[in-house]
Amino acid sequence: MYNKKKLIELLHTGKYSCVIAQGNDTRTFRKKGVKDLYELLCHNPAFLKGAYIADKVVGKAAAALMVRGGIKDVYTDIISLSALTLLRKAHIPVNFECLVPYIQNPDKTGWCPLEEKCYHEDSVDGIFDIVHQFIRRQMPFIKRIFTKY
């Protein structure tokens, strides 16, 4: 069963990007950005419903995916102010170590591209559409699948 302290410990000791617990099932993830959350939401949304998440970094895009997925609780090392606002508006409990004005890109030379694209959008569905388009551009295979329909 879910234990917040153990989930956070697993996140750090396993050097995962994200750890999600749903009932007796705990899954670990390593992809950068929101790809794991996006894939779960698209292909296994039931796993997110009522889940507990420990994540290294939560920006506005990740927060919107979590809200859309119906998570129950989230811990993160770093969270942007806009992500925290979105999660609190959805009444999702959030624990974090560091609150930042925005998520930086990997080089720490500016904004994370997805954080910047989502910054002025307040609708969870609108942010999901932005994430969907962003990931389509990142993954040509997915783009081919979706353009057939």
83-136 pLDDT, tens digit each: 999 999 999 999 999 999 999 998 999 999 999 999 999 999 999 999 999 998
Beta bridge partners of 78: 57, 98
Length of the chain in terms of residues written: 149
145: pLDDT strictly greater than 60? no
Angle (nearest 5°) at CA 40 between 45 and 124: 70
Which tens digits make up the pLDDT trace of 90-102? Answer: 999 999 999 999 9
How far is the C-alpha of 100 from the C-alpha of 120, rounded, in Å? 17
Domain boundaries, given as residue ranges, for the chain: 4-147
CATH number of 4-147: 3.40.140.30
Which tens digits make up the pLDDT trace of 52-79? Answer: 999 999 999 999 999 999 999 999 999 9
Mean pLDDT of 30-50: 94
Output the DSSP codes for 96-124: EEEEESSPBPTTSSSB-HHHHHHTT---H
